[in-house]
A and B are shown apart, each in its own frame.
Chain A
Amino acid sequence: MTSATNPFVGASAKRVDLLLAKLGIVVAVLLLGLQLFATQPLLLVIPLAIGTGSGLYLLSHRRRVVGTGTAIFSGRLSGYLPALVFVGLAAVVVTTRLAGARTLPVHLLTGAVGALIIGQILFVDEAGLAPGAILVEILVAAVVIRLSVLFVTPGFIGVDIWTHALVFVDGIATQGSLEGFAGSKYVMAPVYHVIGAVGAMVFGSARMGIYLTIGIIVPLATVFIYSTTKFFVPARLALLATALFAFADQVIRWGLHVIPTSLGLAFFLGLVYLVMRVFDAGAERWAVLLALGMSLAVVFTHQVSTAIVLVFLGIAALVARVVWLVDPVDGGPNLARTAGALVGVFGVTLVTTLVSWAYTPFGDSETFLWRELGVLRRALTEGTGFLNLAGGGAATGGGTAGAWFVPYLELLGFTLLLAIAIVGGLLLLRGRQRLDRSLTIVLVGATLFCFVFGLSLFGFRALLPGRWLAFLFVPMVVLAAAGVFHLSQSGSRGVVLVVLVVLTLGYPTSMAVAEKATLDSPAFGDQHTRFAYTSLEISAVNTISEIRPGPTSGGLWTDHPYDEVFAVVGGYEDEDLLLGADGPVGTDATVVREYQSEHGFRYELAPDTSSLDSPGALVCPGRWNKVYANDDVRYCTSPLTEGDR
C-alpha cells in the first residue's frame, strides 16, 4: 500500500489513545487471571486480542513511516486472480453437489477462496488493484457460498426457520391472510414473512420464497460495508472490511439460517451506511429520511434487531449532540443539523418501538413490552453472578483427541479481527478529524462488545447475546480496516507483512470451519450439533406426522434439534427421555436416527437407575414395537398400553 496523508494524525495534548492502549494492556492481564476461576476459551482469546492490539498500537504510534510497501503481486499476475476466485467458487459448488453436503475439504476450499480475495486486496500493487472487480468477487462469493449450501441441503437449516417458513410464511401464502399470525409477536413484525409469502407465491414454495428473496438480499447487503468503510479509509481497505464481513462466521450463520434476524441485519447495514453519510455530508434530507425508513423497517421486522438499532442510534445521536456542544470544530459539516436529525431519527424510532411493542402480543395475556421487562428484571435479580457462564451443553457422544484445540481454531479469526480492530479504534480516537463519525463507530463497537461479552460474563443472557454478534461485526470490520491502515502507515515492513499474511490465511480459514458458519455440516462434527437434516430424516418426519399425528397421539421423544422439526411439522409435544434398565420411561414413543449413535443425545436416568452401559441401545429396545423404518430412522412404540403402565 502506498502512503497517503494520514487523516488520523492530529495534534492533541490529550492522548486518549495512548492512555486507553496502556489500559488495554492492564485489562488484558487482569482478564487473563480469570482463567484461574473458569475455563472458557473466550476468557483466553479476548484478553490476548486486547493485549496484542494495544501492544501493536503502542509499538507503532510513534513511527512516521511514509507508507509500508506490502505489494507482492504485480499487475500481470494479479489480473488472473479474479479468474482463480471464480474457479475456486465453482469447485466449492461442484464438490458440495457431489458429496451432497459440505465436507471438511469444502470448508477449507471456502477458506482458500476467502484468502485469495483478501490476498488480492492486501498484496496487489496499486496498478493491478481493481476495486470494482474485487467487490464483485466478494459479493458473488458471499451469495454462492450461502446459496449453494441452502439448495443442496434438504428442508431448512436451523431451528426457528421451520416455524417461520412452514407455519407463518406458508400460512400467509396459502390462506391469503395474516390470521396465522394472530397471537404471535410477528403480527407487529411481519416484513420478513410478507416478503417470504410473496416469494412463495412466485417461486412455488415457502422454502424457495425465502431463499430466493431474503436469502439473496442478506449476502448482497454486505456491499454497504464497503460504502460505510470508505468514509474512514481508502477504497482498498474498505474492500478488506467488506471481505472480512462477508466471510465472518456469524454473518454466514444468518445467511444459512434465514430468519427475521437475517433481514434485520441487512437493514442494519443500510442504516449504518446512512447514518455515517449523515455525519459525513451534513444531514442531507434524503439520507435522514432513508435512515428513518431503514430504522422503522427493522422495527417491523425483528425485535432483537430493533434493540440493537436503538443502541446504535442512541449512541450516534448522543455523540453528535456532545461533539456539537463540546468540540464542533472537529465534527462534520452542519453539525447542529446533523445532531438534530439523528436525535429525531432516534426519537421517532424509539417511540415507534415502544408503541409497537406495547401492542405486540406475547404469551397468553401479556404484551411483548411488559413480558420483556419482566424477563430483564428476573434475569438481573435471579440469574446473574460473576463468571456465571453458559454451560457447555455436550451430548453423550465422546470427544476425540485434540478436541480441546477446536474452539481456539474456530476463534482464531475473531481473535485476529478483534486485535486489529483495537488498533483501529485507538487510531480513530487519536485523530481529530470527523470526531463525531469516528467516536460513534468506536463507541458502537465497544457497546455492542459489552452487550455480547461483558454481560455474558455475569450470566446475563436475557438479551440473547448470540443474536448480537453478527451486528457487532459491522463496527469491528470498519475498525479493523482502520487498524490495517495504521499498521501499513506506521509499522515496520516485516511486522506488517507477518500480520497481513496471518490475517489473509488465518481469518477466512478459521471462519470457514467455525461452528456457526457450518450449521449444516459442522467441520468438527463430534464437537458440534448438525442443524440440518437428511432427506431420509425429513421423509420420516412427514410420514410419521401423517400416520400418527401429534395432536391425537400426544408426544414423542427424539434428540434435539430433530424434536423441533417434529414439533413444527407434526404438532408433537416434546418429551424428555428418561432411560431405565429396560428402556424409555415416561414416554411411549421414540424416534431413533443414525445421527444419535454417531453424536450422542441427552437423557436422564430413570429413578432407581444408577447407570447404563449402552444407553443408545435402550432408546428403541428389543422389547418395544418398531412400527416405522426407513434406511436411517426408526419409530418405536411401547408394548404397554396406557392402562398397563
Chain B
Amino acid sequence: MSPRHSDLVLVVVLTVTASLAILVQGVPWQLEWALGVPFLLVLPGYAAVSALFPTRPTAEESGPPDWPARLGLTLLASAFLVAAVGYLLLRQGVVTFSLTPVVILLAGVTLLGVGIAATRRTVVPEDRVADPLAGASTRTVSGAFGTTGVQSIAVGLSILVLAGALGFAGTAPASQPHSEVYLTGGDDVDIGPTNGTQTLTAGDPNDLALAIGNHEAEPMDYRVVTEVQRLNENGRVLDRERLDDFRVGLAAEQTEIIERSLEPTLTGENLRLHFRVFKIAPGGTADFEAADLTLRSWVNVVGGGRR
C-alpha cells in the first residue's frame, strides 16, 4: 500500500463495505448503522476534501485548511453531497428515489472523489501528502493526547468505559410498560367511540366492543368488570348492576378487540356504564380493590326492566 494513499484505500474499503451492508438483506442493524453513519457523513466529504486539498496543512497563512477545519469541511461536504444526490434522484424521472440508487450513486461520487484525490497526490511530494494515517501509531496518538504511560492507559480505559455506557444506553426499552383500554365501534377500528349518551334496551342484548392493548413487555392477563350505575347529583352511586365480568390474556404488544353483549335490567336516564380493568401479571395476584384503568360511558336504558 502506497504511503500516499492509505487513507484513500481505507475510504474505498469502507465505501464498498458500507454499500454492501446497507443493500444486502439480513445484515444486523448494529453493523448497518455503524457503517451507514460514516458512509453518509464522512466518506463522501472526505473524498471531496482530499480531492480539493491533496497537500497536508502547513503553518503558513496560505495553503490548505488545518486538520480541524478539514474535519468540519468533510462533514458539511458530505451533507451537501448527500443532499445533492438525493435531490437529483428526486427531480429526475428515470430512476426511482429509493435506497439502491441512492447508495450506488453516493458510493460512485465518493469513489470518483477518491480517484481525483489519488491523481492529484501523484504530483505532491510524499512528505506533503495529506494522509492523516501516514506515520500514525499508538505513540503518535498518545503524543497527540499529551499522555504517557499510565495516563495513556487511563485514557484508553475511560474511552472503553464510555463506549460501554453508550452500548448500555442502546439497550433502553423502546417504551415504558403500560396498557391501554378504549371503547370502539367494533372490529372496524376506524369507527371511533361514540359521542353523546347511548341508548341501551333493558332485557335485550346490547353489543359493545372494548379494546385492550398490552404494552407491558410481558404477557398479561386482564380482568374487566362492567357495571351500570345510577348516581345522584353529587356522583354517589345509588344503585348498581353488574353486567359483565371476564378475563382475557394478551401477549406482549398484542391488542385485542373484545366484543361483549350486555343485558341490563336497571333502567333510567343518565346511567353510568362503568368499566374497571385489572392487570394480572403472570404468576401474580391482582388487587381487585382498586382498578388499574377505568372507562365510563353515559347511557339511557329503556324498556321494561327495573327502575
Interface, chain A (partner B; CB < 8 A): 75, 78-80, 82-87, 89-91, 93-94, 96-97, 100, 128-130, 132-133, 135-136, 140, 144, 148, 151-152, 154, 172, 176-178, 190-191, 194-195, 197-199, 201-204, 208, 212-214, 216-217, 220-221, 223-224, 226-227, 230, 263, 266-267, 269-270, 273, 277, 280-282, 284, 286, 290, 293-294, 297, 333, 534-536, 539-540, 543, 546-549, 552-553, 588, 622-632, 635, 637-642, 644
- Are A152 and B172 interface neighbours, CB within 8 A? yes
Q: B148-184: which have CB < 8 Å to A?
A: 148, 151, 154-155, 157-159, 161-162, 164-166, 168-172, 174-176, 178-184
A residues within 8 A CB of B169? 93-94, 96-97, 148, 151-152
Q: Given A201-B99, A534-B176, A270 and B159 touching (CB < 8 A)?
A: no
- Are B80 and A627 interface neighbours, CB within 8 A? no
Interface, chain B (partner A; CB < 8 A): 22, 29, 32-33, 36-37, 39-41, 52-53, 61-63, 65-66, 68-69, 71-73, 75-76, 78-80, 82-83, 85-87, 90-91, 96-99, 102-103, 106, 144-148, 151, 154-155, 157-159, 161-162, 164-166, 168-172, 174-176, 178-184, 189-190, 192-193, 195-197, 211, 213, 215, 235, 270, 292-298
- Are A221 and B82 interface neighbours, CB within 8 A? no
- Are A82 and B90 interface neighbours, CB within 8 A? no
A residues within 8 A CB of B193? 547-548, 625, 627-628, 637
Q: Known A-B contacts: A217-B75, A628-B295, A631-B292. Give 4 more (CB < 8 A).
A: A96-B169, A198-B102, A203-B36, A536-B175
Q: Given A93-B162, A263-B79, A629 and B182 touching (CB < 8 A)?
A: yes
C-alpha spacing A217/B235, complex, angstroms: 57
Interface secondary structure of A, over-half rule? helix
13 A-B pairs (CB sep. < 8 Å) = A79-B147, A80-B151, A90-B162, A190-B83, A221-B75, A227-B65, A227-B68, A277-B65, A294-B76, A543-B180, A549-B192, A625-B195, A628-B182
Q: Report which of B53, B76, B293 forms a contact with A266, defined as CB distance below 8 A.
A: B76
C-alpha spacing A91/B166, complex, angstroms: 10
C-alpha spacing A277/B213, complex, angstroms: 59
C-alpha spacing A197/B99, complex, angstroms: 10
Q: Report which of B75, B154, B162, B195 forms a contact with A220, defined as CB distance below 8 A.
A: B75
- Are A286 and B52 interface neighbours, CB within 8 A? yes
- Are B145 and A177 interface neighbours, CB within 8 A? no
A residues within 8 A CB of B90? 172, 176-178, 194
- Are B102 and A201 interface neighbours, CB within 8 A? yes
Distance from B49 Cβ to chain A, minimum over Cβ atoms (Å): 10
- Are B196 and A635 interface neighbours, CB within 8 A? no
What is the chain A residue whose CB lies nearest that of B106?
A198
C-alpha spacing A267/B80, complex, angstroms: 10
Q: Report which of B63, B159, B170, B294 forms a contact with A629, defined as CB distance below 8 A.
A: B294
C-alpha spacing A568/B264, complex, angstroms: 41
C-alpha spacing A534/B74, complex, angstroms: 36
